[in-house]
Amino acid sequence: MGYTVATSSGNLLDAIVAASRRTVATRRASESATALASRAARRQPRGAAFREHLARHGQINVIAECKRRSPSRGVLRRDYNPGDIARSYEQGGASAISVLTEPAFFDGSLAHLEEVRAAVTLPILRKDFIIDEYQLLEARAAGADAVLLIVAACSPSELAALIEAARTMGLAVLVEAHAADEIRQSVEAGATIIGVNSRNLKTLDVDLGACDALVGEIPPGCVAVAESGVRSREDVRHLHAIGYQAVLIGEWLMSAGDPRKTLQTVTEIGGAATLERGDPRKMHDGVPATGERDDGAAGATRRERR
């Protein structure tokens, strides 16, 4: 049974990280890091393929997420079969699959990741609250190609060490930030794939404006990913137009009657014109300098690209 948390309940991130530490301690007591590393060595993660899939030009790159519940909305899908859902995502044109494995607040499981690995050939992201190298070994052993690291959940030294350890294991790293200083910390730690989460994990509030405000902080050499709060084709079109190469979509797809068809409405958009980060051009009244209308801008003038 997972937890449903009200947005006024304090710092949710701290609670989840504390639960993750307890989970890691329990699992390490059951299986040593040495034994886990032996299992992990049997896998051949494709970290490079994960990054390549998110950076492809001329299309909308979607990380489609398998997630049974969320702390804010409760159960998203009662008939939750991650293998079947992942297959439908692959058929719908996803570039990669994200699998929630956090058990206490999201009803996730490493078994779900293993089911998805057996079902699809796409690169897979383990989405969890990773704070220990033991969890990286778990991710590789379960068949992940990439892991999520959250800046706010780690100290700068921990973040850099986890990024390096993941790369040594052949895993790509999506580093998640929610503020400009966190993006700078990500870059300093060696991140090459940076996600901007429009959801504040401390309060659960969602503001897609965070993606607008922060895309210019991501260096041109990094892959930019927009996370959370995406609920329409217009949202995706807009995020792509302002410089995001990929979007991570979870609750919208998991709440849909037919996730594959919903995903196809996004992937069939094709390669809309995209402003390169680092390009000094502006968007005026929602129109990039390329001339393509950004339907999601609602007439707002966007800030200058850095």
Task: For residue 228, indicate whether it is catalytic.
Answer: yes
Pairwise CA distance, residues 82 & 118, whole Å: 10
Catalytic residue chosen out of the listed positions 61, 127, 186, 251: 127
176 classed as catalytic: yes
What CA–CA distance (Å, rounded) separates 171 from 136? 8
Q: Give me the catalytic one of 114, 182, 227, 251.
A: 227
Question: Is 164 assigned a catalytic role?
Answer: no
Active site residue 102: no
Return the HEC string of 179-233: CHHHHHHHHHHCCCEEEEECECCCCCCECCHHHHHHHHHCCCCCEEEEECCCCCH
- Tokens standing for residue 188: 């300093």
Q: Is 202 a catalytic residue?
A: no
Catalytic pick among 90, 176, 217, 251: 176
Contact 147, 171 (CB under 8 A): yes
* Residue 141 CB contacts under 8 Å (≥ 6 apart), including other chains: 36, 39, 40, 42, 43
Give the whole-angstrom CA distance, residue 85 versus residue 82. Answer: 5
Coil, helix or strand for 103? helix
Element (H, E) at 54: helix 47-54
- Roughly what angle, to the nearest 10 degrees, separates helices 180-189 and 156-168? 50
Letter for the amino acid at 21? R
Q: Do 271 and 58 meet the contact criterion of CB atoms below 8 Å apart?
A: yes
Catalytic residue among 70, 95, 186, 197: 197
Q: Spot the catalytic one: 20, 65, 138, 217.
A: 65
- From the list 70, 98, 200, 228, the catalytic residue is 228
Bridge partners of residue 287, in order along the sequence? 284
| H/E element, 32 | none
User: How far apart are the two ends of the chain, measured CA to CA in Å?
Assistant: 45
On the CB side of 105, CA atoms within 13 Å amount to: 21
Is 261 a known active-site residue? no
Q: Which is catalytic among the residues 20, 61, 67, 95? A: 67
**Is residue 127 flagged as an active site residue?**
yes
User: Which residues are tagged catalytic?
Assistant: 65, 67, 127, 176, 197, 227-228
